[in-house]
Structures are given as C-alpha cells and as structure tokens.
Amino acid sequence: MTENRTGTVRPLLEAERIDKSFPGVHALREVSMNLASGEVHALVGQNGAGKSTLVKCISGVHAPDSGRILLEGEEIGTYTPKHAYDLGIAVVHQRAQLLPWLSVAENVLLGQMPARKGVAIDRGRANELTAALLARFKLDIDPEAPVARLGTPERQQVAIAKALFRKAKLLILDEPTAALDAERSERLFALIEDLRREGVGVLYVSHHLEEVFRLADSITVLRDGLLVATQSTEGLDQNEVVTLMAGRRLEAVGGRNDSGVSAGNGKPEALVLEHVTTDVLHDVDLTVHEGEVVAITGVIGAGGHDIARILYGLDRSYTGRVLLGGSPYEPNTPRQSIKRGLFMVPEDATRDGLVPWLSVAGNITLVDLRTISRLGLLSLRREEAVARRFVDRLRITARSIATPVRNLSGGNQQKVLLAKALAAEAQVLVLEEPTQGVDVHAKAEIHLIVRELAGEGRAVLVISTDIRDLLLFVDRVVALRGGRVAGEFVARETTYAEVLDLTVGARGVQAS
C-alpha cells in the first residue's frame, strides 16, 4: 500500500462510481470497489453482469462515462491499454493474446527486447531473462519455443509471465483456470500466493466459487451492472454468494436421477471402446449405456480429447474396436458420425462449434438441412418452427431466433450447440467441456438438460477437466492418466480428491 502525505494508507486500486453504457446496455452503474496491495480480490457475477466491462475500464480498453479510477492514489487520466500497462496494470485474458509465430521469449518481452547497442536484438539475453522469469515461477516452458506449438495451458502461462515481466503492481486474471487442469491450477494458486507475498494486487475474475473462497481475501459481486456486495470473504459462504449473484435462491444444482446407477444400469450398451490404442492412448476400454452419463476426466493431454476425435471421425489412426449400438463404428468424417447417430460438441464453441454471423436458427438447423427443406429448397418457416422447438426446450435466451449467434452469452451458445445435437437426432452425444466459461446458473441448466437428454434414452459421454463440476451431474467418472484408464467411479460414491488423485497420480491404480 502506498502512503499519502497525511500518513494514512491508500488502497492500490480505487474505482469510484464507475458508470459505463453501450448502445442498448447500461453495463456498469456507479460501481465502486477498492483493492489493496498484496490482496487477492475476487470479482464474480453472472455473464452479462458487468465483470468484463469493469476489467476493461481498469485496464484502459474503455473509458468510463463517469467516475474515476485511481492507482496508488493517482487518477489514471488517459484510458488506453498502453497507459494502463505503463502504470503497472497487467491483464491476462481468458484466451491468451499472444503472437503465435513468435517465440515464448519474444512474446514475454514484447516491446522490451534487450538490444545490443540499442540496435540489434540480443536473443541470447532475451532467452536468459525469460528462462529466469519462468523458473522463478516454476513454469516449465522453453523460451525459444514458438508459441504456435504450445497448447492452451502453456500459452496462458506465457501470458502470465508476460504480465509479470513488467513487474505489474496490479495483475488481473480473467478465468485463469478455465483451460487448466487440476495440476496446473494448483501451480497457479501457488504463484498467486507468491505474488501476494511480494505485494502485488490480484483481481481474480472467476466462475469457480471454490477457488474464489480458497484464494480471495475479499470479493465483489456484480449483478446487472450494479454492485451488490463488496466485502471480505471471511464469514461468507458459497450459497450466499450464489444468491447475491442471482438475486434469488438457487435450486439445488445437478439433480441426477435416482435410478440407481452403478457400472452398468441394465440398459443396452450404446457405445463401446475396446482396446483402443493410439500414440497417446493405451488399451482403453470404455462402455456407455443408453440413459447413462459417463465422464472422462484427466489432465490435459491424458487422452480425453483424443477419444472425442476418434469417435467423431477426425482421427483414424488407432487400433482397437469401437462399437456403436452393437455394430462396428468406423467413421471417416463428422458427417458419417452424424449419420450413425453420434454428435460431438467441440471444446471451443466459438472457434469450432458455431458460425458466428449465422442466426440461432441457422446454426441449429445446419446439422440436417433436409429437415427444413421442402422440394429441395429451404423453408424459412420450417426453419423457424424447428429452431423454436429447441430454443424452448433448452430455454435459450436470445432476442430473437434470427439473432446472429455471436451476440449470445457463453451459456446460451453452449445451449445452441446442445440444440444442434438434438436437431441431429443423435442417440449418442460426446460433449467436450460443456460448462467451460459458463456462469453458475447456466451451468446448472446445462446439467439439467444433459440429464434430461439421458433420461430420454440417449448415451452421453462428457469429456472435461472440471472434476467438481462433473461430479454434480454424471453417473460414472472414468479417470485417465497418461492415456490409460486409471480408475472408474460411481459419481455419487466418490469425492473430488479421490478422482483428482488418480488423474494426477501420486498413488493410484497401475495400468491394467
């Protein structure tokens, strides 16, 4: 904390009555909050509550319509990202903004590259500096590696390193664990502890309330642009926060049906994997019955994503057998998978799952245009009817069915993807990270929807790294480690810790 002339200690960051509107949306209504050096302050709220707008004001992307922001007692003045950066405010976004064709060192030191005699770039020194920085925070990445070759978690770590290089005073983290598995999340938490000790202020934006309660000293809750609460986390409990976020009590999330699930629910086998082996996977056996929701979890790279790709015809280089509905299943393209009745919802909805400028109805009906065709031509009326059916069923909120899908919130976009699965009349669904980046309430809704879909006789395979979330709504959990099935649990009979252990692997089942 900095001391001003009168000797009282001022907070690191003060936001005073920040007000910001966009055409049609009053995003922030006179929001005020403070953050001290060495404090971890959580920012929570539903999608659309104003979190990202507040972050953008603090980081200089937007200028508030009224109100002011002070850093160490001085008003920020100009609202540009560069200015904020110069002042010591660093942001790590949910999707790391890096330059993929440059190396790790070049990204971390962007704009700060050491130069020999002020002219030629000194790569050696740059690599040294980066390596030192990465080591200090126990981040295991090669400074010379091109960023394009790194996976999402590594990229995020590079983004964090980049923020730290500048000796940021205030570090803003936006959904940092969204793309991280349990092991890397733990490392991040340790990093945050280090930063706190060094006096860096951390603004932590997240949907994961358990993390919030574990890390944060204080919390600010926003709802519809209004500040609902800003206080210490001591004495606060999760349910209270959820209520504050929603403005009403939340129904019990999850709601699995009680039709006695154990390994095998007596229904026919919908999907069977036998001895499936690739470069990554080793002898994987898996069965999903009709009406069952089975989750595959593990650290990133453990093989869940690879299984999804195999099931959807994106990877044919495996040995072993896959049966769908009892018959051999060897698709070459997603199109063939869909014809057989299997649909996959990809991990990154905006990047891979939706056509951004196409309407909600257009996206949903894309999977089978024949259903809305009459005499070979599309019937817009039929399209609307079909889409409306799914929109109602899944409770998708959009201004209208003709809205381009890019205007929807993350949760609604996920629902549109589920609607596609229904439109494809899939009997087997493969869902990759279905609740990633989605707020608490939408998560609950998705849990409910998945259970309903399973209840109608479908088999659902969920691939996710969010163990806590999985345990709320699936029947069985299969833990993968290093491409092998490390263990299988009935969801209601196991704990987060138990599953986590197997995926990370201190103790654990030997490969069978």
Partner 1 sequence: MSTGTHTETPGPTGVRLPARFRNVDPFSLWPIAVMVAIIVVTALRSSHYFTVFNFENILSQVAPLGIVTMGQAVLLISAGLDLSVGYNMAFASICTGLLIEHGQPLWLCIAAGVGGATLVGFVNGVIVAQNRAHPFIITLGTSILLFGLDTQLTGGAPVDDMKGLYTAFGGNLPRGFPFFGLPSLTIPLVIVVLFAFAFLRWTPLGRRAYAIGGNEEAAYLSGISVKRTKIYLYTLMGLVVGVAGLVLAGQINQASFNLAQNFELQSIACAVIGGTALFGGRGGALRSLQGVALWGVVQNAIVFAGLSSNYQQMALGAIIVVAVMVTRAQR
Question: Using CB under 8 A as the criterion, which residues of the chain lie in contact with partner 1 when the complex forms?
Answer: 48, 224, 312, 333-335, 337-339, 344, 346, 351-359, 362, 366-370, 373, 376-378, 380, 388, 391-392, 395-402, 404, 420, 424
Q: Minimum distance between the CB of residue 454 and partner 1, rounded to whole angstroms? A: 22
Max Cα-Cα span within the chain: 81
Beta strands in 76-184, from DSSP E residues, in sequence order: 89-92, 115-116, 120-121, 170-174
Output 191 or 345, the one with its CB closest to partner 1.
345
**Edge-to-edge strands of the sheet including 74-75?**
25-35, 13-22, 66-71, 74-75
Output 248 or 507, the one with its CB closest to partner 1.
248
| DSSP, residue by residue, 302-346 | SSHHHHHHHHTTS----EEEEEETTEE---SSHHHHHHHTEEEE-
Q: Minimum distance between the CB of residue 321 and partner 1, rounded to whole angstroms? A: 24
Closest to 311 measured CA to CA, from 430, 202, 467: 430
Output 80 or 379, the one with its CB closest to partner 1.
379
Q: Minimum distance between the CB of residue 355 and partner 1, rounded to whole angstroms? A: 4
Output 10 or 309, the one with its CB closest to partner 1.
309
Q: Minimum distance between the CB of residue 357 and partner 1, rounded to whole angstroms? A: 5
Is residue 400 exposed (0-12), middle (13-18) or buried (19+ Cβ within 10 Å)?
exposed
Output 211 or 445, the one with its CB closest to partner 1.
445
Output 447 or 481, the one with its CB closest to partner 1.
447
Q: Minimum distance between the CB of residue 446 and partner 1, rounded to whole angstroms? A: 15
Helix (H) or strand (E) holding 66: strand 66-71
Q: Minimum distance between the CB of residue 68 and partner 1, rounded to whole angstroms? A: 28
How far apart CA 107 and CA 158 sit, in angstroms, is 8
Output 338 or 438, the one with its CB closest to partner 1.
338
Output 113 or 402, the one with its CB closest to partner 1.
402
List residues bridging with 120 in a β-sheet. 116
Tokens encoding 14? 């003060």
How far apart CA 180 and CA 423 sit, in angstroms, is 31
Beta-carbon neighbour count of residue 361 at 10 Å? 26
User: What residues contact 149, with CB distance under 8 A and at least 6 apart?
Assistant: none
Q: Minimum distance between the CB of residue 483 and partner 1, rounded to whole angstroms? A: 24
Q: Minimum distance between the CB of residue 387 and partner 1, rounded to whole angstroms? A: 10
Helix (H) or strand (E) holding 59: none
Cα distances from 288 to residues 19, 124, 469, in angstroms, run 51, 53, 19
